[in-house]
Amino acid sequence: MKKWILPALLLALLSACQRPQNDNPSAAVVALVMKTLNNPFFMDMQQGAEEAAGTLQLQLLVQAPEREIDVEKQMQIIENLIQRKVAAICVTPSGSREIIPAIVKANRANIPVLILDTRVDSSALAEAGGLIATFIGSDNFDGGRLAGRFIIEKLRGKGLVAVLEGIPGHETGDARLHGFHHEVDPVPGIRIVASQTANWERDQGYNVFQNILQSQPNLHAVFACNDIMALGAVEAIAAANRRGQILVVGFDAISDAREAIRNGAMTASIAQNPRAMGKLAVEYAQRVIRGETIPAYVPVQIELIQ
């Protein structure tokens, strides 16, 4: 399999992510804690946040674990930011429940927490006595439904479908998966013959889907809960000489996925707007720092790209 090589820009971002993006020492420091920097989706989110911070003259501190599944490392990052006494923390949680103790600690330090992209478990948060300032993100359930409707239409209501899931118990992947099932399960001609996690990663997407292709030689379509896994599936399809025979639908519409759609290797993707999420996070963080009231939910639009 051809490995995914990080571009020089990403390496530069990784080396710079430990320092604020504004040299004004009197400016408030807003932290953006993402799941990883090894994903173009989060690179776009960072760029949106940097644009807003520059406009608003805030210091932006961007940090993230190396891998999306490293919940413990993300917790450590947040705890260090609390010790640093940043003015606000914007975070895309690696774990919807696991993040809650860190939120509670930030609350006790009077540091507002804004959640992006992935919702926290609201009942567990309430039970722990934690509070968030807002959630900024797309409706992942609706995005899963959109992907399901598209596959049903393309297959004309009949076919064998596989699913590459995200991290089990992770709100983003679970919501997308549930939305997809909401559409396809009632259709008698559509049968999901394989549904396995690939943990948001391209290599795992390749390996898992390669095994699925071997066990399901008559497969018609695959829905991957993010584009990184979808691109791994694309590579597995190419390795099996089955390009053009299987519909591949991803989620996030990152630049590599859009290129794969243009050249016919992928069929479609559900587009979010991570740049807008990052921009809105910094803008609403400033409003919270100023003591303003902000909405509990800030929606970001989704659409199908094909």
Minimal CA–CA distance to 92: which of 147, 37, 14? 37
What is the reported pLDDT for 68? 84
Q: What is the CA radius of gyration of the chain?
A: 20
Q: Look at residue 38 in the predicted model and tell me its pLDDT.
A: 86
| 168 plus 90 within the same structural domain | no
Alpha carbons 292 and 132: distance in angstroms, whole number = 14
In this structure, the answer to whether residues 23 and 132 fall within a common structural domain is yes
Instruction: Supply the pLDDT for residue 20.
Output: 55
Task: Return the amino acid letter for 195.
Answer: S
305 located within any domain: no
Provide the pLDDT for residue 164.
98
Measured from the Cβ of residue 11, the count of other Cβ atoms closer than 10 Å reads 11
How high is the pLDDT of residue 123? 94
**Residues contacting residue 255 through CB under 8 Å, at least 6 positions apart:** 40
26 and 71 part of one domain: yes
12 and 131 together in one domain: yes
148 and 131 share a domain? no
- Tell me the C-alpha distance between 104 and 304, whole Å: 37
Q: Are residues 104 and 180 in the same domain?
A: no
Are 244 and 288 part of one and the same domain?
Answer: no
CB 88 within 8 Å of CB 30: yes
**Rounded distance, CA 90 to CA 175, Å?**
21
Shared domain check, 278 and 132: yes
- The whole domain housing 296 covers 8-137+274-300
In a domain, 196, yes or no: yes
Mean pLDDT by 10 residues, the chain (306 residues): 41 44 72 93 95 96 91 95 97 93 97 96 95 96 97 98 91 93 98 96 97 97 97 98 96 95 97 95 97 96 95
Residues 62 and 148 in one domain: no
Report the CATH number at residue 253: 3.40.50.2300
Task: Indicate whether 144 and 133 sit together in one domain.
Answer: no
Tokens 């820009």 -> residue: 9
Kindly state whether residues 18 and 59 are assigned to the same domain.
Answer: yes
Q: Are 171 and 278 contained in the same domain?
A: no
In a domain, 83, yes or no: yes
Does 262 reside within a domain? yes
